[in-house]
Chains A and B, each alone.
Chain A
């Protein structure tokens, strides 16, 4: 009996109270997809504002609320929970031959907290004095002074952080305790390594944002004065605390994405992954080094020169482990017999777009250039390349890769290719224009622009239409496959990791008899591995 089959009383409660990690995964997927589309809609609306410039429907104030809500949803409800909550939940136990995560009930609680946080975030839009307008960063002093519903939105982010922490605790413990016989650390699939490293970032970094957000609430409610210069406080310290979490958070977003890509590339190149250990430990290195670079977001906030130089240097260094991965993926492809299935195409697109996002990130790490680029559309372009081109595309690639396993149905590949063409063109038109605009001086978070920027803004808006059409085709295709897709084989892509030994969809208890692992993963070319 598969995990999807009617269990017990059936119906909704067999889902929302299920502690089966696979069901919890689908709960997350559903909720996240809904919010993703809400935020995409808001993104499109912002682009329309720049098309017409009229105040019809979207006033300047509304624009402030739109980019705030767009950012908050995309960051806290899509890319941060992102791959760990969906694919980590589903495949982490399966990939290490376990029955479930270490704490199944805690796992369900994480989802409930996620749901609560999401509802609170929605509530903050429609209740009280109006949707928050601070940007997703909630910078003081504005977040303390604005009359909008900041406290509730901040509390929502706090609850979401708690959910993320519990997921991290669960996954770390699972990796330590639940590996099946023969699953040594160096036989773990690299997605597991990625989720493991991410777990540590979630556990160690998230509490910092928790306390920072609590301080914003306390400050708004009681005026404790910790960020108020009139009372000896320092608003720049808010920025420090915020980025001590939020830079590591970008690795919460990207490391699991890299992990998924590392599963996909060997399968479709029919090659053992090149540099297994380098990839595994570079995830840990990113987790470690990534906690030391936060102040590169604050080069223009007025720090000591020495601090600026140190953070700039560390920022350059943190690019190294990411580059290691890119080189290893490329080396894996070398002499492979590549099967360009949609999942592979999206995975390679990830590598391409992430490389652009990563390299532009290094540019921003240079002190001189940073002054020019800070708070412009360049930055908006950069982080969409990393978060959307990176994590977003990896999310789609992972979905294309694991969809047959998760749902037991196969999708039609052709619309997925068509969607790719639309998305790839639209994406680069949209965010490529953003980068050029920013380089020319267009500031971010502005509801209007000067005439000389208009043609590029026009190109960006047209790009956003292509992008959203591609997204619609991609998701529509999945929906059709859910309803009418042909039954999936147990191993449609010829993968070598444990999930492909299970039927599609897997049984509720995953493995009828606990598996015993005798070799490293990705054994496509056993001779070459020696």
Chain B
């Protein structure tokens, strides 16, 4: 019984797309807040954004974009039956995701070091709007980083499954869905970059 149910690829992909819609709405609520507050405090957002390191932001964007390329290559490879290459691309993608997180960690650590963290006395002393910017910054990039972390774990598992032959040509919907998820994580970052790092 479950055999027939679980081999419904189309169904699995519909399910994944629906899940991605929910992710979009989840971040959508935050984007809504961001736009409302940016309209209220354009100057302060501009000013606060100068604190952020655009170089790290852009570097991380390149990392994520490359990783998205890798996961697409992993899928193509597996679909063509080149499983070893597929597994390697997927593992590389997970590795780049990890690199993104490391960068992010350094970036946050530097902020903390300068006394910029949610609820810190420095942030509380900022003019209204600037502290808000950092509140949104930590919330949105934090939630995004959580998604990257989940994605890295997911991709590592998938890479392993490809290596073990459990995900293979003709039976790779898990890889395809993980790829879809990863692309979404990427797309959300592409919005976060200009909103926070390039707002200055």
Interface residues of A (CB under 8 A from B): 19, 99-100, 102-104, 106, 165, 168-170, 172-173, 176-178, 203-208, 210-212, 214-215, 218, 222-226, 229-234, 237, 240-241, 244, 509
Contact (A99, B28) CB under 8 Å given A169-B15, A169-B19, A226-B139: no
Asked if A207 contacts B10 (CB within 8 A), the reply is no
Contact (A177, B139) CB under 8 Å given A100-B1, A204-B25, A237-B33: no
Closest-CB distance, A38 to chain B (whole angstroms):
30
- Residues of B close to A170: CB separation below 8 A: 15
- Residues of A close to B132: CB separation below 8 A: 225-226, 231-233
- Residues of A close to B118: CB separation below 8 A: 218, 222-225
Q: Which chain B residue lies CB-closest to A510?
A: B1
Complex CA–CA separation, A164 to B21 (angstroms): 14
Q: Which chain A residue lies CB-closest to B32?
A: A241
User: What are 13 A-B pairs with beta-carbon distances under 8 A?
Assistant: A19-B2, A99-B1, A100-B1, A100-B5, A169-B15, A203-B22, A206-B22, A208-B25, A211-B26, A222-B118, A224-B135, A226-B132, A241-B33
Partner of B18, one of A203, A229, A241, A244: A203
Contact (A237, B36) CB under 8 Å given A102-B8, A207-B23: yes
Asked if B29 contacts A208 (CB within 8 A), the reply is yes
Q: B residues 60-103 with Cβ under 8 Å of A?
A: none
Contact (A204, B21) CB under 8 Å given A225-B131, A241-B32: yes
Interface residue total, chain B, C-beta cutoff 8 A: 44
Give the one of A168, A169, A230, A232 with max B CB within 10 A: A232
Q: Which chain A residue lies CB-closest to B34?
A: A226
Interface string of B1-14 (1 = CB under 8 A from A): 11011001011001
B108 interfacial contact with A, CB 8 Å: no
Asked if B14 contacts A204 (CB within 8 A), the reply is no
Contact (A210, B26) CB under 8 Å given A223-B118, A232-B131: yes
Partner of A222, one of B15, B33, B119, B136: B119
Q: What are the 6 tightest A-B residue pairs by CB atom distance, in nearest-first order?
A: A232-B128, A224-B135, A223-B119, A222-B118, A232-B129, A207-B25
Q: Other CB < 8 Å A-B pairs besides A173-B15, A224-B135, 19 of them?
A: A100-B5, A165-B22, A169-B19, A173-B11, A177-B8, A177-B11, A204-B22, A211-B29, A214-B143, A222-B138, A224-B136, A224-B139, A226-B37, A226-B136, A231-B126, A232-B41, A232-B129, A233-B135, A241-B32
- Residues of A close to B37: CB separation below 8 A: 226, 232-234
Complex CA–CA separation, A450 to B144 (angstroms): 52
Asked if B29 contacts A207 (CB within 8 A), the reply is yes
Q: B residues 25-48 with Cβ under 8 Å of A?
A: 25-30, 32-33, 36-37, 40-41, 44
Interface string of B99-129 (1 = CB under 8 A from A): 0000000000000000000110001101111
Q: Which chain B residue lies CB-closest to A224?
A: B135
Contact (A205, B25) CB under 8 Å given A177-B10, A218-B139: yes
- Residues of B close to A231: CB separation below 8 A: 124, 126, 128-129, 131-132, 135
Asked if B11 contacts A104 (CB within 8 A), the reply is no
Asked if B40 contacts A234 (CB within 8 A), the reply is yes
Closest-CB distance, A288 to chain B (whole angstroms):
15
Asked if A102 contacts B11 (CB within 8 A), the reply is yes
Complex CA–CA separation, A222 to B10 (angstroms): 43
- Residues of B close to A226: CB separation below 8 A: 33, 37, 132, 135-136, 139
Complex CA–CA separation, A231 to B36 (angstroms): 14
Complex CA–CA separation, A208 to B4 (angstroms): 34
- Residues of B close to A241: CB separation below 8 A: 29, 32-33
Complex CA–CA separation, A237 to B11 (angstroms): 37
Complex CA–CA separation, A225 to B139 (angstroms): 11
- Residues of A close to B21: CB separation below 8 A: 203-204
Complex CA–CA separation, A205 to B29 (angstroms): 10
- Residues of A close to B29: CB separation below 8 A: 207-208, 211-212, 241, 244
- Residues of B close to A102: CB separation below 8 A: 5, 8, 11, 15
- Residues of A close to B26: CB separation below 8 A: 207-208, 210-211
Closest-CB distance, B94 to chain A (whole angstroms):
24
Closest-CB distance, B194 to chain A (whole angstroms):
20
- Residues of B close to A211: CB separation below 8 A: 26-27, 29-30
Complex CA–CA separation, A530 to B136 (angstroms): 60
Q: B residues 121-156 with Cβ under 8 Å of A?
A: 123-124, 126-132, 135-136, 138-139, 143
Contact (A99, B4) CB under 8 Å given A222-B118, A224-B135, A225-B132: yes
Closest-CB distance, A222 to chain B (whole angstroms):
4
- Residues of A close to B22: CB separation below 8 A: 165, 169, 203-204, 206-207
- Residues of A close to B10: CB separation below 8 A: 177
Complex CA–CA separation, A173 to B16 (angstroms): 10
Contact (A509, B1) CB under 8 Å given A103-B15, A203-B18, A211-B30: yes
